[in-house]
Amino acid sequence: MYQQLLRKENQIAVIGLGYVGLPIALEFAKYFRVIGFDINHSRVELMQRGIDPSQELEASVFDGKDIVFTSNLEDLRQAQFFVVAVPTPVDDYKVPDLKPLIGASHTIGKVLKKGDYVIYESTVYPGCTEEDCLPILEKESGLKLGEDFKIGYSPERINPGDKERTIDKILKIVSGSDAEALEEIAQVYGQIISAGIYKAPTIKVAEAAKVIENTQRDLNISLMNELAIIFDRMGIDTKDVIEAAGTKWNFIKFYPGLVGGHCIGVDP
């Protein structure tokens, strides 16, 4: 798969062009032929004009990229390597809302062919890719995993607004449904990630790693916020406390402040 993509015989399709999907699509488009797909027609029209609807990326980032933006399902039939980057929010009862992910799986299943790859980047709980998404792909396409197509999971690690830790400078976790899938997926992502690739042993391990990354950050900052309130009442400077505690080699510095964003708060 990697070699065919590199020779531009095959194409990559990125499903979901939000603050995660669009940067990934544009990065891939430096080296591969890319189809950027989103169900929001107005967003697609803006991107066709070189405008990022999220206002994260400069117009110059669109220049010289081998990418076509579309909301037409039929255009996806030209792709062989699908990357899913749709949101996975929670509902009013804090239950994961998988509708965007399920919808994307149905969409891909309708155009899935023998030899294709499907890689999920959306933040999910361990088991979601294989237990929730895979059955939809098989049912919609009439194909079988392993015999006809392969899947993988590579959690997004984009830090929106960060001009230093850009997508290519953040080490990427990848996983695959079998050894061949893992190697091919690692090579494809390795083309755009200079920081390196970490090959997780299973898809579930990769899914779980993403969840605890977010959970750990949420909990540690939340803890410091609580401690800051207590220290303030005691007349103690929180920053001084953290600096003092940080003199021990195994103390990890977290500072009080805002914690949240699109995905951090939904994972714990």
Q: Which positions are catalytic? A: 263
Asked if residues 186 and 119 have their Cβ atoms less than 8 Å apart, the reply is: no
The pairing of strands 172-176 and 11-15 is unpaired
d(CA 192, CA 38): 22
Instruction: Give the 3-state secondary structure of residue 44.
Output: helix
Q: How far is CA 39 from CA 15, 86, 106, in A?
A: 9, 11, 13
Structure tokens at 113: 């062919």
The Cα–Cα gap between 188 and 147 comes to 21
Q: Give the count of beta carbons closer than 10 Å to the beta carbon of residue 250.
A: 4
Structure tokens that stand for 78 in this block:
């030209």
Q: For residue 253, give the DSSP letter.
A: P
